[in-house]
Structure 1
Amino acid sequence: MTETWAVATGHPTATRAAERILRMGGNAVDAGVAAGLTLGVVQPDLVSIAGVAPIVMYDAASGRVTSQDGVGGWPAAANVEEMHREHGNHVPEGLLRTVIPAAPASWIRALSEKGTLRFADIALEALEAAKDGFEVYPLFANFVASRQNKYARFASTAEIFLPAGRPPAVGERFIQRDLAWTLEQMIAAEATCPTDRGAGLAAARAAFYEGPIAEKIVQFHALNGGLLTAADLAGYQVREEATIPIHFRGTEVHCCGAWCQGISMAEALAMVEAAGPEAATRDGALNLHFLIEVLKRVFADREAYVTDPDHMDVSPLMLVASEFIAERLSTIHDSSDPLPAPGLLNPSSGEPSVFHIGCADTSHVSVIDGAGNIFSATPSDPSYDTQVIPGTGLSVSSRGSQSRSIPGHLNALAPGKRPRLTPNPILALKDGKPWLAMGTPGGDVQIQAMIQVLLNILDLGMSPAEAVRAPRVATFAFPGSFAPHDVHPNKILCEADLPDAQVADLVSRGHDVEAWPEETWMAGGICLALRDPKGGVMAVADSRRAGTAATGPNPSLEGFQPDEE
């Protein structure tokens, strides 16, 4: 049988979860949700079961692309003036960063509307990894060890992540029994509706947002100065959002909206496309000066205009309008602009530098199945900057770190307002047919890594594996997305194996270039699945992180037994 499905995720156990589902006949959504849920267990430093989970999907039967925001808003009790008075310009680490957890609702909505399986079917690997543990791997061990002092601040967090008072060591078993309890509550609730899949999924969701899990979350917030209430949880709904399609080198790339970096990904692609291949490449390699200058302008515009679309003064589509794109390109010259100003739009109505410590949180899952369905999701939320809810194993979404506690600021926190996410999965069609799913962790490096991989494939003709492996650069000449939102004019980081000629060209044009290690996790961790026009598939997981990929046959659902191993 020919290989007809492809999957790449941020961890081998998540890849195996998706592979099990696909081999037994589940579709891309079933497999993607299984992998995404598993990432929240086996990458608890980077992804939370109670974090964010933005998703973009292509339905082969209807030809429709949809996205889910997968991010919760601020609790109703959030007050920017009070936060500023008590904590200054930045939302402090701890419970006060908590926004409404979105991932469980996002996974279950996707499964309900586009999947075929029950929650218990897709949660097998996640539950097993929580209950029986998983082997500690280097990236996880290094992340926790490098942030040991932060993990040690909160007793409930330290109990899990610093067992025996120290970081977990490579090769040890890391067990999360309380997290297993949380998953078991959802599975048990679903089991009360054995003959109705939809009702069972709704029951699993209710166990989290209204039942025993919610009760523990709300009680802990009430006793410890948090903001989250039962009404916040019970009233939460994932939102389906329109994607932003960009025609790029003969493909149609679907980006998520302005509630995340999707609009910035779209603007960057639109600028590079408008400039043409001759601008993006030079001497058989990427023209890194041009690309960096594009990205600087995109990030300047992000800082000036982009927030939860419900609170924007301009339409997000103005940032990809042809006239605006042309004006932004006209400001790029042969020398570095250390810190470009944003483009002009008329409204329609004490921490270490990020590039020194890196932005590790977040993971990704890309799936294309035999029918051509695409699932691309970028779940996230770390555990070092908040308190684990005792008894649940949950680091409830601390995504409030991306909001400001400055009254009047574009991204100031407000009740119900969504923080502007960095996670932004994409998918792409070619000639109207499924082609690509892709995403990466890396905070503000995400869209930078993704566009370099796309250009390596589409302009330089590299294979997907070569495109992912190629050395990367990143600019930091903009206000960072995470507190303390530091700015580094003219700063570029490049992997140490970037060819000397490209480094010399950047220096000669006035860029402040600093070296990363070769193949560093700080340059992202791309996961992509790709389907070629002849129907073949491939998947690539970046060797910079802990990801893996798999391809294989997609049998008929006839005779499918969901509980098979």
Structure 2
Amino acid sequence: MRLFPLRALSAALALGLVVALPSQAADRITGEPFATRSEVYAPHAMAATSHPLATQVALDVMKGGGSAVDAAIAANAALGLMEPTGNGIGGDLFAIVWDPKTKKLYGYNGSGRSPKSLTLAEFQRRGLTDIPAHGPLPVTVPGTVDAWFALHEKFGRQPMAQNLAPAIRYAREGHPVHEVIAYYWDRSVPRLSKWPGFAEQFTVDGGGTDKRRAPRTGEMWKNPNLASTLEKIGKGGRDAFYKGDIARTIDAYFKANDGFLSYEDLAAHRGNWVEPVSTNYRGIDVWELPPNGQGIAALQMLNLLEPYDLKKYGFGSPEHVHLVAEAKKLAFADRAASYADPDFYKAPVEKLISKAYARERGKLVSMDAAAKAVEPGVIPELNEGDTIYMTVADDQGMMVSLIQSNYRGMGSGMAPPGLGFIFQDRGEQFVLKPGHPNTYAPGKRPFHTIIPAFATKDGKPWLSFGVMGGAMQPQGHAQIIVNLVDFGMNLQEAGDAPRIHHDGSTEPAGQNTAMSDGGVLELETGFPYETIQALMRKGHAVKFADGPYGGYQAIMVNPNGGYIGASESRKDGQAAGY
């Protein structure tokens, strides 16, 4: 797609110039308006990840007889090494698996809980109104390793040690760092180097004034500490991580660094299998996982959009963009009020994703004006008490939709000595306000942004997909489905087409401040200027921004046999098959 460079665009706007944005890439000989490259077709198996080497790891595992789940675990382990800016074994994991034997979907919630010894009163004693983004306080139990073994026990075909071997080899021998990853790594080093263990394990010695820095594009990166940790996990199983020497090292590290995560917290951890939930959008069943994640926001958005003839309005029209933004505002009002750990508050999921509820809420949408403030449709009644997305499909028909994250880029910055990974800072997503469903409590799972997605058609698998990136994720899920179903795009086009990102809704985290000004509508380069003008007349605050549009990977079942793959053009990744 021929895009107007964002920096040039910003400069032109600053000078008061009227900029005409291209609506399609006329230089693609296929005539596809938005695709940066072709879809990938393969007869037997497919993998789509945010790193080409991880994609190849997944394919090698499946060629060797491993299942799609084995391949997903192997690729995820490799991504923890190769893309530590987004994920690693210090984070959490969610997955949806299509099992061809039982012909049904299985969901796994691999999110960890807050430390039992850390209380709301402790945050109050420290005078905090928000949980800090970095350091020991936002750290929660990492659920990834447990999720690997739970998925493997149910769907794996080859030993876990074999699944982890490629990542271990790359960690010892090294691999060249890719461009986008190098960019985000460089941004993280100044913020996180003050935390114990980070600079020692996640920077290189540049010499002179450039003493400790991030590896640069193309430089070889090794992580022998992570290799040793993965070897212990491969030999000793999940308990090697949650109950063995690794757990004892973690316990001692946090005790020495004003932390609260303990051996007991790790030993008590278990993720859980959950039933995916769905809505039907114009004949396609779209599946998400229920809270504590935000997946049902995508379903709520689709229900709100379904009554409108988006195909008639056309992609990039003022009506299309306006309706996506307004549907997001309504869905996110409920997200802020009700999405939380179901062990502490059971959100009325069935009601929230129902068509009847969408019809009632849809009455609040005006085609002429942007909403400035939105109240939730459900008021909770309380009882006491940076990310990667990847997908894999194998020759037996098994498909895996998997998302895994440290939360903010490289996470908390807390990196225990000798282990080669960084802990997530997912606890920042709690609210420090008593009486909210997502209020901090010991042993509680925070609200989660990371969500895998799946779609079926007539009860059969159709699409495994995801769009990583914080609050962009449900917005991205809805946009991908709309692009495919309403606008007839192919799988690569659907991800490459310019994206809409609304920011400023009430959040289920932090101080939970309500939206009162309508927020900001960020539009990726490629929307017509006439659309931008029309949106501004409706009262939208429109701006351009680099980077908040997420990262997409997808695999679709080819009706002619095999699979179709697509990968995010905004990342370093690759879709490939055999």
Decide: shared fold, TM above 0.5.
yes
The question of whether the paired residues in 2 share the 8 Å contact of 1:373 and 1:434 is answered with no
Corresponding position: 1:173 with 2:213: no
The 8 Å contact of residues 60 and 372 in structure 1, kept in 2 or not, is answered as: yes
For residue 312 of structure 1, report the CA deviation from its aligned partner: 2.0
Instruction: Give the secondary structure class of the aligned counterpart of 2:373.
Output: coil
The answer to whether 1:81 aligns with 2:118 is no
Match of 2:101 among 54, 61, 66: 61
Greater alpha carbon shift after TM alignment, 526-535 vs 316-325: 316-325
Q: Distance in 1 between matches of 2:555 and 2:414?
A: 35
Is it true that 1:227 corresponds to 2:254 in the alignment? Answer: no
- The match for 1:282 is 313
1:372 corresponds in structure 2 to: 397
Q: Which residue of 1 aligns with 2:472?
A: 445
* Contact map agreement 1:314 1:348 (CA 8 A) in 2: no
- The CA deviation string for residues 303-352 of structure 1, in whole angstroms up to 9 with x for no partner, is 11111122226422221123321111110002100232211457497xxx
Aligned in 2, Cα 1:52/1:2: closer, same or farther, shift over 3 Å? Answer: closer
Shift of 1:508: 2.0
Do the aligned residues in 1 keep the contact of 2:45 with 2:59 (CA within 8 Å)? Answer: no
Q: How does 1:164-203 map to 2 (within 5 A)?
A: 164=205, 165-189=212-236
Bigger CA drift: 487-496 or 47-56? 487-496
Separation in structure 1 between the aligned mates of residue 503 and residue 311 of structure 2, nearest angstrom: 20
1: CA distance, partners of 2:74 / 2:568 = 20
1:79 deviates by 0.2
Pick aligned residue for 2:526 from 497, 500, 516: 497
**Are 1:473 and 1:523, in contact at CA under 8 Å, matched by a contact in 2?**
yes
- In the TM superposition, 1:315-334 aligns within 5 A as 315-334=348-367
Change over 3 Å in CA distance of 1:87–1:121 after alignment to 2: farther
2:538 pairs with 1:515: no
In the alignment, structure 1 residue 237 sits paired with structure 2 residue 262: no
AA in 2 matched with 1:231: E
Q: Which residue of 2 aligns with 1:120?
A: 161
Displacement after TM superposition at 1:484 (Å): 7.1
Partners of 2:311 and 2:253 lie apart in 1 by: 52
Three-state SS of the structure 2 residue aligned to 1:375 is: strand
CA distance in 2, matches of 1:175, 1:524: 27
Q: Give the one of 454, 462, 468 matched to 2:495.
A: 468
Q: Does 1:551 align with 2:577?
A: yes
Cα distance in 1 between the residues matched to 2:116 and 2:105: 32
Equivalent residue for 2:387, pick from 344, 354, 362: 362
- Partners of 2:254 and 2:261 within 8 A in 1: yes
Q: Distance in 2 between matches of 1:348 and 1:136?
A: 48
CA deviations 1:251-306 (Å, max 9, x no partner) are: 21110111101121222222223x24x15750455611011100011111111111
Contact 2:99/2:398 (<8 A) preserved = yes
Contact 1:528–1:540 (Cα < 8 Å) also in 2: yes
Which one-letter code corresponds to 1:153 in the other structure? K
- 8 Å contact kept, 2:42–2:563: no
Equivalent residue for 1:251?
284
Count of aligned residue pairs for this structure pair: 522
- The alignment partner of 1:526 has SS state of strand
Deviation at 1:419, TM superposition (A): 0.7
Show structure 1 runs of 5+ residues with no match.
Answer: 190-203, 350-360, 553-565
Measure how far apart 1:208 and its partner are: 0.6
1:30–1:116 Cα contact (<8 Å) kept: yes
Tell me the equivalent position of 2:333.
Answer: 300
Could you tell me the TM-score, scaled by structure 2's length?
0.86
Bigger proportion of residues as helix? 1
Structure 1 residue 45, shift from structure 2 partner: 1.4
Is 1:139 aligned with 2:180?
yes
For 2:503 and 2:518, how far apart are their aligned partners in 1? 7
Deviation at 1:388, TM superposition (A): 0.5
Tell me the alpha carbon deviations over residues 91-125 of structure 1, each in whole angstroms, 9 at most, x when there is no partner: 12211111111000001110111111111111122
Contact map agreement 2:279 2:286 (CA 8 A) in 1: yes
Distance 1:284 1:226, change over 3 A: closer
2:453 matched to which residue of 1?
426
The one-letter code of the counterpart of 1:176 is: N
Match of 2:377 among 343, 351, 357: 343
How far residue 25 of structure 1 moved from its aligned partner, in angstroms, is 2.5
Residue deviations 1:500-556, cap 9 Å, x none?
232222222110000124xxx42111000110333241111111011111122xxxx
Runs of 4+ deviating beyond 6 Å: none
Q: Decide which of 39, 60, 64 is 1:20's aligned counterpart.
A: 60
Alignment-mate amino acid for residue 372 of structure 1 = G
Secondary structure class of the residue paired with 1:97:
coil
Q: Does the 8 Å CA contact 2:401/2:452 hold for their aligned counterparts?
A: yes
CA displacement at 1:230 relative to structure 2: 1.6
- Partner-residue secondary structure (3-state), 1:443: coil
- Conservation of the 8 A alpha-carbon contact between 1:367 and 1:529: yes
CA RMSD for the aligned pairs?
2.0
Cα separation, 2, equivalents of 1:99 and 1:411: 15
* Secondary structure of 2:424's aligned partner: coil
Contact 2:225/2:418 (<8 A) preserved: yes
Structure 2 partner of 1:385: 412
AA paired with 2:565?
Answer: A
Q: Distance in 2 between matches of 1:118 and 1:489?
A: 52
Distance in 1, Cα, partners of 2:213 & 2:143: 31
Per the normalisation by structure 1, the TM-score is: 0.88
Secondary structure of the residue that 1:549 maps to in structure 2?
strand
Is the CA contact (8 Å cut-off) linking 2:86 and 2:387 kept in structure 1? yes
- Could you tell me whether the CA contact under 8 Å between 1:60 and 1:371 is conserved in 2? yes
The aligned amino acid for 1:302 is: R
Quick one: which amino acid aligns to residue 65 of structure 1?
A: L
Secondary structure of 2:446's counterpart equals: coil
The one-letter code sitting in structure 2 at the alignment partner of 1:31 is A
**Residue aligning to 1:161:** 202
Q: Given residue 82 of structure 1, which amino acid in structure 2 is its aligned partner?
A: E
Matched-pair contact (CA < 8 Å) for 2:135–2:412: yes
Q: CA deviation at 1:2?
A: 6.6
1:431–1:43 CA distance, 2 compared to 1 (3 A): same
> CA offset at residue 483 of structure 1?
4.9
* Secondary structure of the structure 1 residue equivalent to 2:336: helix
In 1, are the aligned partners of 2:335 and 2:508 still within 8 Å (CA)? no
How far apart are the structure 2 equivalents of 1:492 and 1:285? 14
